[in-house]
Amino acid sequence: MKSLLAVASVLIKSITVLLAVAVINFMLVRMAPGDPVSVLAGEAGASDQHYIDQLRKEFKLDKPLPVQLAGYLGSMATLNLGFSYRQQQPVWDLIADRLPATLVLAIPAFLLSLLGGVLLGVLASKYRGTWKDSAITAGSLAFYATPIFWVGLMLVLLFSVQLGWFPPFGLEAMGSGKSGLARALDIAHHAVLPVLTLAAFNLALYARMTRASMNEVQTADFVKTAWAKGLSPSRVVWVHQLRNAVLPVITLAGIQAGQLIGGSVLVETVFAWPGIGRLAFDALMQRDYQVLLGVFFCTSLMVVAFNLITDLMYLLIDPRMRSAA
């Protein structure tokens, strides 16, 4: 019964957060400078006031802001993201067309950063005070402090321009006509540099947090007991210490997983990658409010979903959280 109440509590909190984020996104977009109706009218070469009023009515911008907000929330409740008059497509179709390309980057980058960061953090803690610890800590700090777009540009200069190992931009080779496994391998070849760029920052973050958490757990009584029992060093480190030190890392990973989906704008721009990050950037430049709000809603939904999964994992891993939820 307590477990069901804990899960229900987490679900209610997630829905509340999603509602608040939807309201904030709507208000931020409406307060942004620029008028989409004026932009469309200017591109169409029409300055007639009747035409502008007609467009404003079509966009429902002629109604008071609270009425617009209520209509937007009602549409979100039915998962209706609206229609892009600039692209002449439903917003769902635009997002569905771009989302797979973003997932091709986000999922491998998340797994690489999480597994690599935890591994490096454990090694740094295991060899604390040695040159290995210093090298891992210094490398993590360097990646953490380096702007992500600069990492991408340096990778392009080294591995594309100088060595010619990987393509510098794009999802796949243009006009190649590949299909099936050959196309999948071509996309994977193009994704190497963007994935490494997207994973670099989070890998450094996970490594530093894992090291700190492992060092903190190292002095716990259950670890001293494991050493006193004569268990092997590998078992003590990987089973007893890591199992208890990984909880803060799971929390951070749940937050970062959702942000990888929506926070890949810079990476997709540097590598000309046709994902939803690039879609949001183009929609912002074109004042396409419906697409921008649709992308915001989808990315917010993913962030909340990943945090919900994280909270549920907490309930499974640590029974003490069930009574605290």
User: 189-219, pLDDT tens digit by residue?
Assistant: 888 888 888 888 788 888 888 888 877 777 7
> What is the rounded distance in angstroms from the CA atom of residue 19 to the CA atom of residue 310?
19
- Of residues 34, 38, 36, the one with CA closest to residue 51: 38
Same domain assignment for residues 34 and 135: no
Q: How confident is the model at residue 19 (pLDDT cuts 50, 70, 90)?
A: confident
pLDDT tens-digit readout, 85-134: 777 778 888 888 888 888 888 888 888 888 888 888 888 877 787 888 78
Same domain assignment for residues 259 and 308: yes
- Of residues 166, 160, 151, 164, the one with CA closest to residue 198: 151
In a domain, residue 294? The reply is yes
Same domain assignment for residues 79 and 105: no
- 76 Rama class: left (phi>0) / alpha (psi -120 to 50) / beta: alpha
Is residue 162's pLDDT more than 70? yes
Same domain assignment for residues 81 and 208: no
Same domain assignment for residues 141 and 255: yes
Domain range for residue 72?
15-91
The conformation of residue 87, written as its DSSP 8-state character, comes to T
Same domain assignment for residues 23 and 144: no
> What is the rounded distance in angstroms from the CA atom of residue 185 to the CA atom of residue 191?
10
Strand partners, 83: 90
